[in-house]
Amino acid sequence: MKLVLASGNKHKANEIRAQIPAGFELISQTTLGIESPEETGSTFVENAIIKAKHASLISGFPAIADDSGLCVPSLLGKPGLHSARYAGPTATDTENLEKLMSSLKGISDRRAFFHCVLVYMESADDPAPIITEGRWNGEISHSPSIESGFGYDPIFYAAEVGKTAAEITNSEKNTFSHRGQALRDLFGILSAKYAT
């Protein structure tokens, strides 16, 4: 079964592709020349639906969309919905990371969590999208663990693995992460729905 992934983020695409079960083929919207829509929602769910609906409408395929971000309770949930552009609309991962570290100066409560919402839409007019969610609890470290890593991974310390998200293997990340949780739930539902 062909599905279009409503994301232009190659890191997300790689993480999702690595966990797709047999019987499903994931096509990136970028491959189809589909630009990302403006994310005007006020929640992760709303933005994921906007993206899935857009990709399905243009491609004609069922679509999967991910909307996710890092939430820091002591910063009233920021960067949250704006995680990818926390330091500005064209900010790099490093700039976003630096802004977050600066925002937390002098704050002792460094608890944080990654939240992921995945939406599956059979078509752009699907009245009952399938929605799954995942949450990964951790805390923000005082300095990045390594120079490489995707997004906020170098400063997100997960006690369950005793490392930052940038230091663990892809397999470990898929096991514990917010996206891994949501993907397992989503494809469990889809596999049952489309079982022959």
Residue 135 belongs to what H/E stretch? Answer: strand 130-140
Q: 191 phi and psi, to 5 degrees?
A: -60, -40
**Which among 67, 109, 126, 185 is annotated as catalytic?**
67
Active site residue 153: no
Q: Order across the sheet with 2-5: list the strands.
A: 25-28, 2-5, 63-71, 111-121, 130-140, 156-158, 163-164
Residue 163 belongs to what H/E stretch? Answer: strand 163-164
Q: 115 phi and psi, to 5 degrees?
A: -125, 135
Query: Which tokens is 66 given?
Result: 């991910």
Residues annotated as catalytic are 67
